[in-house]
Amino acid sequence: MEALLEAKLEKLLEQVQKPARYAGGEMNTSVKPFDEAELTFAFCFPDTYDIGMSHLGIKILYHIINKQPWGLCERVFTPWPDMGDAMRREGIPLFSLESRTPVRDFDLVGFTLQYEMSYTNILEMLDLARIPLYARDRGEKDPLVVAGGPCAYNPEPLANFVDAYMIGDGEDVMVELCAAVREGKRQGKSRLAILEDLAAIRGVYVPAFYDVCYNADGTVKSCTPNRPGVPAKVQRCVVTDLNGAEYPESFPVPYTDIVFDRIVLEIMRGCTRGCRFCQAGMIYRPVRERSLDRLLALADSLEKTTGYEEISLSSLSSGDYPCLAELIRALMDRYQQKRVSISLPSMRIDNIVKQSLEETQKVKKSGLTLAPEAGTQRLRDVINKGVTEEDLIRAVTDAFESGWSTVKLYFMSGLPTETDEDLQGIADLCKKTVAAYFSVPKDRRARGLKVTASVSVFVPKPFTPFQWVGQDTLEVIRGKQERMREYMRLKGVTYNWHESTLSFLEACISRGDRRIGDVIYTAWKDGCRFDGWNEHFRYETWLAAFEKCGLDPAFYAYRVRPLEEVLPWDVIDAGVTKEFLIREYEKALKGTTTKDCRKGCNACGLQRWKGACPAYENARGV
């Protein structure tokens, strides 16, 4: 960054909120000579530093790229509005933290897509970086804009802005993509030629190489390649050996508070449970585990290099990790004297290991988080949750007997086939949770019972059995929330609910087609950014953007889609087949459950890919 801009920036940092968000220089960051790198990558997180630095994926990919002798990766986060406005006013372009290099000077600018309501922040970052927003407007000197993450499984809403998507696990495809760009750069290839090279890599989707046609009713007619050699469907990347996959032995340590400021150990990836509302449970299949020895070695390295006093064991369903009790015991033996605590994310109710949880409380008491999801057994069977009321009461009773007094319960409203009885069931479960606390003898329970019930609005997601269903209308959602406020007037229980309009727009974008991109652009142009933050969410501006673009948001959120309809994301092969999802959808409507994959293969489709589903192949003796 030029000296004049550097001076302006230093002055700005004295005037904005949380200047440490923009300062850089944290411990364990990777600082390489920018001009000596053969390939430079700006890893952009479309939210604040506080949120982005809590995300494990950025840590893993930052480590992987910087480990390449030819590669350089630096971090970029969305400036808070006070900083963004000041940068525009002072003529300061968006810059990286490590070297304060303008983002437009990197070879690759990569975004992780974690949440649909952060999409306007992507346009905000591109604009602050002075990179043309639309891919079609970028020239030979502009960086390639790439994206990945769970929301990339429906790439269409941002297809007009992204040059190439990486679909699936990023550890391998990231290196392959960067190496292809490096080689293209070395050979002096054109932007188009490099994109053609990227399209040949498994897991890479180049939107410009596909034409989308629509029917008269506005539904998608087709999405077809417009040049030879481009696959009709893009297969996701799968890391088959998680134990051997790259994982950082040090993390950048922030100077300021972030949301999750601790060591994160990913103990396994994927889930065998098959909850029908859960996109992550479908797109991260199959389950792959890290060994006990590997996790302990990583924990030792990370504890030494970061100085953190908490280790979080991360996965979609940590209670299913077969060595959980041994892992927790070994970690406690290592770190109890150092006062390093062990924490677990939201647990499945049916597999809480009482002894393991007691171990985690020896250093630091924390709250217990459980996710019943629905209030009645009928609806839990519809969503294939696979837990019972008895599981919940046993779990919370065990927790109260082990010294817990704070419990968080997560539910959803608006699930397919939901009735008022299901809503009342949420209140009944909360009552029984409170009763379970008082069933424990007074001398054996901790003081200060606090039960928090959070009820979010169901959003149908791509690549789930519920991708065809319609979301409840705002009128229905608000009616349910009003009744829930009455049902939840319970002593000892705090009731939280999610903003219905935000969930409505999330549904519009998550199931949107390529035309939604113009809505996102219009909303951003009219002032929308940080839409996931209540103080910045501008619902009326979003509605106006839909109107300006001639699109009806109800078409995307409320409409029940016929099973034969071409879906915008059909261009992606996520592993699970549409036939499997249809079977699960039909079973849901009948209230029929599907067994855990660990108890036998349910033919979800991954068995088509040799090496992608070790559990299936081991069962068949392959």
What are 308-326's pLDDT values in tens digits? Answer: 999 999 999 888 899 998 9
**Whole-number average pLDDT of the chain:** 93
What are 422-479's pLDDT values in tens digits? Answer: 999 999 999 999 999 999 999 888 889 999 999 999 999 999 999 999 999 999 999 9
- Identify the residue whose tokens are 């007619």: 221
Instruction: Check whether 383 has a pLDDT greater than 70.
Output: yes
Kindly report the three-state secondary structure assignment for every residue of 550-598.
Answer: CCCHHHHHCCCCCCCCECHHHHEECCCCHHHHHHHHHHHHHCCCCCCHH
Q: Is residue 216 part of a domain?
A: yes
Query: pLDDT band at 614, cuts 50/70/90?
Result: low
CB atoms within 10 A of CB 393: 17
The predicted model gives 532-538 an average pLDDT of 95
CATH number at residue 92: 3.40.50.2300
Query: pLDDT band at 356, cuts 50/70/90?
Result: low
**Is 185 exposed, middle or buried, given 0-12, 13-18 or 19+ CB atoms closer than 10 A?**
middle
Q: Which domain holds residue 219?
A: 3-232
Q: How many distinct structural domains can be found in the chain?
A: 1
Instruction: Check whether 622 has a pLDDT greater than 50.
Output: no
Q: Is residue 221 part of a domain?
A: yes
Instruction: Check whether 347 has a pLDDT greater than 70.
Output: no
Q: Is residue 359 part of a domain?
A: no
Q: Which residues pair with 241 in a beta bridge?
A: none
State both tokens at 330.
Answer: 């070994």
Q: What is the pLDDT of residue 461?
A: 98
Report H helices in 339-419.
354-360, 377-382, 389-401
Instruction: Check whether 362 has a pLDDT greater than 60.
Output: no
CA-CA distances (angstroms) from residue 404 to 235, 411, 440, 488?
45, 20, 11, 22
Q: What is the pLDDT of residue 25?
A: 92
Q: Is residue 462 part of a domain?
A: no
Q: Is residue 608 part of a domain?
A: no
Q: What is the dihedral of CA 543, 546, 548, 550, to 10 degrees?
A: -140
- Whole-number Å distance between alpha carbons of 510 and 301: 38
Q: Is residue 45 part of a domain?
A: yes
Question: Are the CB atoms for 581 and 243 separated by under 8 Å?
Answer: no
CA-CA distances (angstroms) from residue 368 to 305, 426, 430, 448, 455?
28, 18, 14, 14, 17
Residues 6+ apart with CB under 8 A from 304: none
What are 266-277's pLDDT values in tens digits? Answer: 999 999 999 999
More confident residue, 195 or 339: 195
Question: Are the CB atoms for 119 and 138 separated by under 8 Å?
Answer: no
Q: Is residue 240 part of a domain?
A: no
CA-CA distances (angstroms) from residue 573 to 126, 167, 284?
29, 9, 13
State pTM to two decimals. 0.95
Q: Is residue 70 part of a domain?
A: yes
